[in-house]
Amino acid sequence: MHSSNHIIKFADDTIVVGLINKDNESAYREEVRELVSWCKVNNLYLNVDKTKEMVVDFRRARQDHSPLAINGSSVEIVKNIKFLGVHIAENLTWTLNISSITKRAQQCLYFLRKLREAHLPSSLSSTEVL
């Protein structure tokens, strides 16, 4: 593994984080090739259709980033990902994640209101319902 790259694994999710310095993507792309080879050697199927790439670039003059190719297929470049329940946006703001949490909370509150309207016995607490 290159010192500018990190591999984060959790269950069946894996993320490769690579630092591209001075427009040199070779270490990052080599790391991805090594991960693909490791998967093959260990009889793990890498689903390229589910594989996504997100580029975080804070330079003023952004350049187009050519997508990765794995087993002859291009990897989709996305503007945000969800990893371990956390939404990560390419601009690294919390807006998307907070919106997702707020939406989920509103859904839970809706169902709690419906249960109250249905005269749910008071012996049940809201934590038991959720």
The pTM assigned to this predicted structure is 0.69
Query: At which residue do the structure tokens 């009889």 appear?
Result: 43
Please report the pLDDT score of residue 125 as a whole number: 53
Please report the pLDDT score of residue 63 as a whole number: 76
80-97: b (≥16 Cβ within 10 Å) or e: eeeeeeebbbbeeeeebb
What are the start-end ranges of the H helices in the chain? 26-41, 95-117, 126-129
Cα-atom radius of gyration of the chain, to the nearest Å?
21
* In the predicted structure, residue 130 carries a pLDDT above the cut 60: no
* In the predicted structure, residue 129 carries a pLDDT above the cut 50: no
Please report the pLDDT score of residue 59 as a whole number: 79
Q: What pLDDT digit, counting tens, does each position of 20-54 carry?
A: 888 888 888 899 999 999 999 999 888 999 999 99
Q: Helices (H) and strands (E) in the chain — how many of each?
A: 3, 8
Q: What pLDDT digit, counting tens, does each position of 84-118 carry?
A: 899 999 999 999 999 999 999 999 899 888 888 88
Half-sphere exposure of 84 (CA within 13 A, CB side): 7
